């Protein structure tokens, strides 16, 4: 029987997938028990590293690894683990999940409205595609999906709004 001494807890264990994670065809040096103990720490370190890099780098990293991240989360065993975790969490406190949507909305009305207002404010300020397309629909009666596909129209209309804002701003002064 092949064994390995865990690099962290120094326990001798049978070298198998029950005891050690298999990464790219090789068993890693720390046993599963030790690795899993450090899981929250690793997740925290990763979050901190990404926070330090900033949102742009975060997005870049995601784009770069998107394929492998998505492939990972689609693996049957990963899906099963995720479902089991979800079930376990639900079993812990079913009442938490059984609040009817309407009741939740009623309770958090203020906060939901506030978030929505903030979202809209940013959308309008940045002249997001969704906002520009909505204005095109309102003023020119061109369906939103159609307007969004028309890059020239979108850019022209965006520039027009910018111009209007500039004029308003100058008139107020």
> What is the 3 state secondary structure string of 85-134?
HHHHHHHHCHHHHCCCHHHHHHHCHHHHHHHHHHHHHHHHHHCCHHHHHH
d(CA 137, CA 10): 67
Structure-token match 């040096």, residue found: 29
Using CB under 5 A as the binding rule, the residues of this chain from 93 to 122 that contact Zn ion are none
Does the protein bind Zn ion through residue 127 (CB under 5 A)? no
Interface residue with Zn ion, options 19, 21, 29, 34 (CB under 5 A): 34
What is the contact mask toward Zn ion in residues 151 to 170, using x (rule: CB under 5 A)? --------------------
Q: Of 34 and 154, which CB lies nearer to Zn ion in the complex structure?
A: 34
Q: With contacts defined by CB under 5 A, how many residues of the chain interact with Zn ion? A: 5
Residue 126: half-sphere exposure toward Cβ, Cα within 13 Å:
9
Measuring CA to CA, which residue among 31, 27, 25, 26 is closest to residue 11?
31
Considering beta carbons, is residue 8 or 161 the nearer one to Zn ion?
8
Q: What part of residues 4-23 is at the interface with Zn ion (CB under 5 A)?
A: 6, 8-9
> In angstroms, how far is the first alpha carbon of the chain from the final one?
84
Cβ-based nearer residue to Zn ion, 32 or 158: 32
Q: Is residue 31 a contact residue for Zn ion (CB under 5 A)?
A: yes
Q: Based on the shown chain and the rule CB under 5 A, indicate whether residue 28 belongs to the binding site for Zn ion.
A: no
In the complex, least distance from residue 18 CB atom to Zn ion, rounded to whole angstroms: 13
Q: Which residues bind Zn ion (CB under 5 A)?
A: 6, 8-9, 31, 34
């Amino acid at each position: 029987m092949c064994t390995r001494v865990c690099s962290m807890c120094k326990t001798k264990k049978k070298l198998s997938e029950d005891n050690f994670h298999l990464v790219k065809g090789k068993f890693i040096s720390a046993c599963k028990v030790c690795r899993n103990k450090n899981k929250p720490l690793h997740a925290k370190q990763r979050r901190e590293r990404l926070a330090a890099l900033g949102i742009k780098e975060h997005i870049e990293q995601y784009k770069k690894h998107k394929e492998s991240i998505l492939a990972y989360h689609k693996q049957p065993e990963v899906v099963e683990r995720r479902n089991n975790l979800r079930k376990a969490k639900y079993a812990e406190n079913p009442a938490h999940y059984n609040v009817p949507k309407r009741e939740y909305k009623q309770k958090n009305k203020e906060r939901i409205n506030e978030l929505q207002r903030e979202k809209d404010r940013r959308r309008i300020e940045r002249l997001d595609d969704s906002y520009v397309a909505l204005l095109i629909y309102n003023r020119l009666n061109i369906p939103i999906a159609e307007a969004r596909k028309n890059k020239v129209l979108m850019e022209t209309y965006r520039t027009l709004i910018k111009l209007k804002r500039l004029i308003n701003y100058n008139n107020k002064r």
